[in-house]
Chains A and B, each alone.
Chain A
Amino acid sequence: MGVNADSDIVLEMIDIEKQFPGVKALDRVRLTLRKGTVHSLMGENGAGKSTLMKCLFGVYSEDSGEIRMEGRPVRFENPRRALDNGIAMVHQELNQVLRRSVMENVWLGRFPKKYGFISHKKMYDDTKRVFEELEIKIDPRVIIGSLSVSQRQMVEIAKAVSYNAKILVLDEPTSSLTNEEVRHLFNIIGKLRARGVGIIYISHKINEILQISDEVTIMRDGQRVAAKKASELTTDEIIRLMVGRDLTRQFPPNTNTPGETLLEVKNITGKYKPTCENVSFSLRKGEILGVAGLVGSRRTELLENIFGVAARESGEIYLHGRKVENRNSEESIKNGFALLTEERRATGIFPLQSVQFNTILANLRAYVNKGLLSDKSMRGDTTRIIETLGVKTPGQRTHIRYLSGGNQQKVILGRWLLTEPEVLLLDEPTRGIDVGAKYEIYQLIIQLTSRGKGIVMVSSEMPELIGICDRVLVMSGGKLAGILDLRNNKHENAQEEIMRLAAKYV
């Protein structure tokens, strides 16, 4: 590839500056994207990645600086105009019309027409063609809501391709994909690269970045701190550049010591299929039990069954040897359980409410004094959570939607800590949050175990499971495939073993 030849440059962002009240969000940021390359954009949440992309797509207008596409200065008024000019973005949180078909979602806003009416045949054929090119095996006619998150993501990428985009921005595309699906995605990226598409790839997963990128731009506090060839970078260096300090380890040391048995789950089977079947395990005080498995292995359903938000067909739960029913969340909370859900936006936060509201909601009972809520104790508890968990927020009254993903996650974790649970069921607790915040979440989890809490943590990130869990329960096709004891038996090939178990009943 003829690097440095100007004709290769598809996008240039030059000295972009953006000032928000009290903070310089972008400080003379540069980004150069070449045709047929993957350029990764890294940085902690709040480093300015999204702001930069929003300037590109015209969601924000930059205070100064210039954006050039194929040498011409451009300035888009809105994302739609950007799309018309060949810049497409696949968002981390998919915005799709769930109850309509795949093809309608792909051609939304530009349905192919014949005599003024929509031609479903052309729509089908065109979708099929794009899917075949990308080797996506999805029927364009199925309702998109019935697909898995990864399939929906593939559809979104195909949609971007159907616009003949010259520039494609992928925001955290692999956060909910299994390894197999990630390979498929990389395959597609490879095809697009060969076609000359310039790809901006935003991710927190360093291994993937090193694997897929040609160039890497790292941002911190609104500044570009490095722009290098991927081949010149190492994991340690990327982390150091991102956090601006040496993060010698990705995971804090496991100082926890598992104690007596806290929780016993026997033969849990959910009521409405597909669900988990016949799963049994036990959890000790101060123990972190990881739950691994492929997407669709019903890990979330297992947690939901234990917490009583999904209907249980059969099975028993014992806490301290005493049987608990956990028929609904209210009862489970009283029994000392907490469930941090997987989809923060859908089932975690109340976006239009304040940080305080979001913090205290699960613990309202504690603030009622003669029928009325005590502002003082609600404020006190929220302050305590903000301080101990290091939530970065301008104040308690700020709407939670203005916080970064990592800070939102801390608020929700705080919501659960206030209920003083004994068993914390965490579903993908670090999804979509940056390295620094992840480390803090791990620290919090380990601190909790030192206070005798038991943690069940579903995760799709292998290093995380191996890095902080005492044992890892592997699920496959809704069934328990095996439990690995990482604390007592040093598994040389823990990762391979987990993968093997995960594929057991598929």
Chain B
Amino acid sequence: MENANLDPKKAADPRPQTDRRLWTDFLLNYSLYIILGLMIVVVIIINPAFLSLTNFTKILTQASTRGILALGLAGMIVLAGTDLSAGRILGCCAAVTASLVQSVTYTSRMYPNIESDLPVLVPLALSIAIAVAFCLLNGFGVAKLHLHAFIITLGTQLIAFGALCIYIDSQKGGAQALSSFNPTFLNVVNGGFKIGGFTLPFLIIYFLIAAACMWVIWNKTALGKNMFAIGGNMEAAAVSGVNVTRNIMGVYLIAGVLYGCAAFLEAGRVQSVNTGMGLNYELDAISGCVIGGVSFSGGVGTIPGVVIGVIILQTINFCLSYLSVNPYLQYIIKGLIIILAVSIDVRKYLSKK
């Protein structure tokens, strides 16, 4: 080709690269990690006893189920949508899980006919199946009926909540929390690997496995690429041969699988499921995603970002209660930190324009 006289660098990012600029770039690119680090440092200064392995395991354990939920929900946000139903779907599936893992020795169990423990895979499979059904309903609304995700998932949220209440209420003894689970189930969820004096909870491992699987899906599969294409420019994706409907359904399907797993685990973690289960979980998951840099305008986000975002959010929760901050004040601080974190993260894209 001719035109060799044109410097290829001309197409480069047209930003002046002074030292100050490099610093701000650095701060912007690693803002999440810096915020996380600062928070931990502040808490340690206030109370040095915070610095313990147990506390960090606790944070990660608490983050695990919501983290898995967030990993599913992040796909919806990358598609330029959202999911308001995630929390209640989780509640619904957790209730089904709980009803099937009650100890056979517990007299007021929901299904007295079950006389020996079911294999744990049964409630897990059922939980996943129900979550997938709800998610496919959402996906159908978005991909086929062309509803905004906000609307269809708002509807599903109510449906799932109604179903949850009816299910809990259908117990012979009336509406009571589902509890008293069998030890096999509890061990699968709450057990851990003993390494010397330290126990690594299975929950953290499940979370990491889910994150690893999702990283592969997002980065190494056609579905992942198509998801970013649809979220980034739906029309261009449609013209480029991306089957928009099928790929949207795929993303929702995977979210369903993750929701189902999260519900199964959350039932065991909380050890009691009532109608309040899952309330506002979607908001925590969405906050985690946006803190982690998943853009609400679609087409932008990473799995490590989601993981870090969820952990930051949980760290805030944990630190605030650790320092015994007034619970009402906690809400205000959390709100401010979310706004701060996201407004810093948004700079990355603003400054490049």
A501 and B237 alpha carbons, distance in the complex (Å): 35
Question: A341 an interface residue at 8 Å Cβ cutoff?
Answer: yes
> B5 touching A221 by the CB < 8 A rule?
yes
A49 shortest CB reach to chain B, Å: 13
Q: Name the B residues within 8 Å of A365 (CB-CB).
A: 222
Known A20-B12, A372-B221, A402-B14; contact A353-B241, beta-carbon cutoff 8 A? no
Per the 8 Å Cβ criterion, residues 415-430 of A in contact with B are 415, 419
> A25 touching B6 by the CB < 8 A rule?
no
User: Which one of A32-40, A105-113, A388-396, A479-487 contacts B?
Assistant: A388-396
User: Which one of A173-181, A189-197, A314-322, A356-364 contacts B?
Assistant: A356-364
Known A20-B16, A21-B17; contact A394-B9, beta-carbon cutoff 8 A? yes
Known A309-B238, A349-B236, A390-B3; contact A404-B11, beta-carbon cutoff 8 A? yes
Question: B293 an interface residue at 8 Å Cβ cutoff?
Answer: no
Tally of chain B residues near chain A (CB < 8 A):
39
B351 shortest CB reach to chain A, Å: 13
Q: Name the B residues within 8 Å of A244 (CB-CB).
A: 5
A436 and B5 alpha carbons, distance in the complex (Å): 12
Query: Chain A: which residue is nearest B243 at the CB level?
Result: A330
Question: A241 an interface residue at 8 Å Cβ cutoff?
Answer: no
A364 and B227 alpha carbons, distance in the complex (Å): 12
| B299 in complex: contacting residue of A25, A221, A350, CB < 8 Å | A350
Q: Name the B residues within 8 Å of A233 (CB-CB).
A: none
A179 and B3 alpha carbons, distance in the complex (Å): 31
Q: Name the A residues within 8 Å of B115 (CB-CB).
A: none
Tally of chain A residues near chain B (CB < 8 A):
55
A402 and B12 alpha carbons, distance in the complex (Å): 6
> B10 touching A392 by the CB < 8 A rule?
yes
**Main SS of the interface on chain A?**
mixed
Question: A2 an interface residue at 8 Å Cβ cutoff?
Answer: no
B300 shortest CB reach to chain A, Å: 6
Per the 8 Å Cβ criterion, residues 25-66 of B in contact with A are none
Q: Name the B residues within 8 Å of A402 (CB-CB).
A: 11-14
Interface residues as binary, A317-335 with B (CB distance below 8 Å gives 1, 0 otherwise): 0000000000011101100
Which A residues lie at the B interface, using CB under 8 A? 19-23, 25, 44, 46, 51, 221, 243-245, 307, 309, 328-330, 332-333, 339, 341, 346-353, 357, 360-362, 364-365, 367-368, 371-373, 390, 392-394, 398-399, 402-404, 407, 415, 419, 436, 440
20 further A-B pairs in the complex, CB-CB below 8 A; given A346-B233, A346-B236: A20-B14, A22-B7, A25-B10, A44-B6, A243-B3, A329-B242, A341-B239, A347-B236, A347-B239, A348-B236, A352-B232, A353-B232, A361-B237, A361-B242, A373-B225, A394-B12, A394-B13, A398-B12, A402-B13, A436-B3
Provide 28 A-B residue pairs closer than 8 Å at the C-beta atoms, listed in order of the A residue. Answer: A20-B12, A20-B14, A21-B9, A22-B9, A46-B6, A46-B11, A221-B7, A245-B2, A329-B238, A330-B243, A341-B236, A347-B233, A347-B239, A350-B229, A350-B232, A350-B233, A352-B349, A357-B225, A373-B222, A373-B225, A390-B3, A394-B9, A394-B12, A394-B13, A398-B11, A402-B14, A436-B3, A440-B1
